[in-house]
Amino acid sequence: MSDNPLVRGVGLWSAAIRVGKEEVERGRPMSALHDESLAIRMTGLAKTFGDHVAVAGLDLTVPTGELLSLLGPNGAGKTTTIKMLCCLLRPSGGTASILGHDIATAPLAVKQVIGVSPQETAVAPNLNAWENLEMMAGLHGIDRQRARRRAEELLEVTGLAHRAGDKAKQYSGGMQRRLSIAMALVSDPQVVFLDEPTIGLDPQSRRAMWEYISGLKGDITIVLTTHYLEEADALADRIAVVDGGQLVALGTPDELKGNMTGIPVMVVEASNVTPEAFMALQQVYPSARRIEGGVEIEAEHLSIYEIGDCLRPFGVEIHSTAKKHVSLDDVFLELTGKELRE
C-alpha cells in the first residue's frame, strides 16, 4: 500500500464502503424490527471521557425525511452525538441505529447510507473541487458519468463552479466549507449530518445554502447543528435542545416558542431618552432597560399611554412601540440559562 497518508486513507475508506455495501445487500445488519418511518433511533445513547459525561443517555428518534436541528451551548454534546451516529466514536452506553443499522455492530453499513459535513472542514487540499467530489463519489461506488453530473450540480449550487479547477488549498475558509458540504451530498445519501454547515459563510452564501438544504427536506433525512438560531428557525421541522449532554426540549420551532409563558415585552423606539426620563419610567416600570434607539420594558401590564405620560414631560419623542415576539433566542435562554454563542 502507498506511503501517502491521503492515498492510504482513501483506500481504507473505499474498502470499508465496499464491505458496508455488501452487508446492506445481504441484509445482515438490518433489524427485522426496523420501523421504516424512522431514519434514526437513539436509546440511552451515552458517551463519557474519563470522569466527564459528554452525552448522558439520549432518547430520540428522527422520522425519515425530517430535518432535525440539534441546538445547545458549547460543550452540550452535539458534536459528540453526531460523531457517535457517524461511527467515529464508540458509545459508552445505550444504542443507536441509522435506517435499522446498529452503529456498534454494523458501522460499515451505516457509512454506506450517510453523508457527513463535519465541523472541521474535511477536503483534500491538493485536489481541486472536481477531484474532491469525484473521489468521494467513487468511494461510494458511483460511476464516473453520474458522479460528474452530480458534482456539476453541487458546484453550481455552492457557487464554486468558477473555481472548480483550482486546488482546494487556494480556497478561502468559506469556500472550503461549501466544498465540504458538497462532498457530503455527492453520493446522494439517505441521511446527512451537517455540523455547523454555514459557519464562516457570508450572508449571501448562507442564504443560498439555506435554500438548497430546504429543498432537500422530505427526500433525505438531515441532522443539522448550528450556532445561528435564525437558521434553525427557518429550516428545521423539529428542534432538539441539549444541555449538559441531556435532551431538555423537543418540538417544532412554533411549539417551542408557543410554550414560552414569559411576561410581555414592549420595545419603545424613542429619541433623546435622558437619564431623568429613564428614571421616571423606571418608577412605573422597574424592569425598563435601555436598548439601542430606545427602551425595552418587561411587565405583566403594559400601557402605551402610561409610557407616554412618563416620557413626554422630559421632551422625549416616541417614534413607535411594538410588542416583542418570542424568538428562539428567548426559548434557548430560558431552557439553558445561556447565550448560544458562548
Name the band, by pLDDT with cuts 50, 70 and 90, for residue 155.
Answer: very high
Query: Which three-class secondary structure state does DSSP give residue 97?
Result: strand
Q: What is the pLDDT of residue 278?
A: 92
Distances from the Cα of 233 to the Cα of 198, 199, 291, angstroms: 14, 16, 24
CA distance 227 to 323: 26
**Is residue 64 predicted with pLDDT exceeding 90?**
yes
CA distance 119 to 117: 7
Q: Cell numbers of 212, please?
A: 438548497
CA distance 339 to 56: 21
The β-bridge partners of 108 are: none
**Is residue 67 predicted with pLDDT exceeding 80?**
yes
**Is residue 3 predicted with pLDDT exceeding 60?**
no
**Is residue 35 predicted with pLDDT exceeding 70?**
yes
CA distance 237 to 70: 11
| Sign of the dihedral defined by the CA atoms of residues 47, 68, 43, 41, in that order | negative
> Please, what is the average pLDDT of the chain?
84
CA distance 208 to 197: 12
pTM: 0.73
Asked whether the beta carbons of 89 and 126 are under 8 A apart, the reply is no
Domains 5-257 and 265-325 share a fold: no
Q: With CA atoms as reference, report the closest residue to 192 among 111, 266, 284, 80.
A: 111
Percent of residues, the chain, with pLDDT higher than 90? 46
What is the tens place of the pLDDT at every residue in 204-231?
Answer: 878 888 888 888 888 899 999 988 888 9
Q: CA triplet 82, 86, 88: central angle to 5 degrees?
A: 95
Structurally, at CATH architecture level, domain 265-325 sits in: 2-Layer Sandwich (3.30)
Q: What is the pLDDT of residue 227?
A: 82
Where along the chain do its domains lie?
A: 5-257, 265-325
Relative to beta strand 317-323, strand 265-271 is antiparallel
Average pLDDT over residues 287-300: 86
Q: Cell numbers of 253, please?
A: 420551532
Q: What is the pLDDT of residue 172?
A: 87
- Residues sharing a CB contact under 8 Å with residue 53, sequence separation 6 or more, in sequence order: 46, 47, 244, 245
Q: What ranges in 116-251 are assigned the alpha helix state H?
A: 129-139, 144-157, 173-185, 203-216, 229-235
CA–centroid distance for 38 within its chain:
19
Average pLDDT over residues 159-172: 93
Asked whether the beta carbons of 115 and 137 are under 8 A apart, the reply is no
| Complete DSSP assignment for 103-120 | TTT-HHHHHHHEEEE-SS
**Is residue 341 predicted with pLDDT exceeding 60?**
no
CATH number (3.30.365.10, 3.40.50.300, 3.30.460.10, 3.40.33.10) of 5-257 reads 3.40.50.300
Q: What is the pLDDT of residue 63?
A: 96
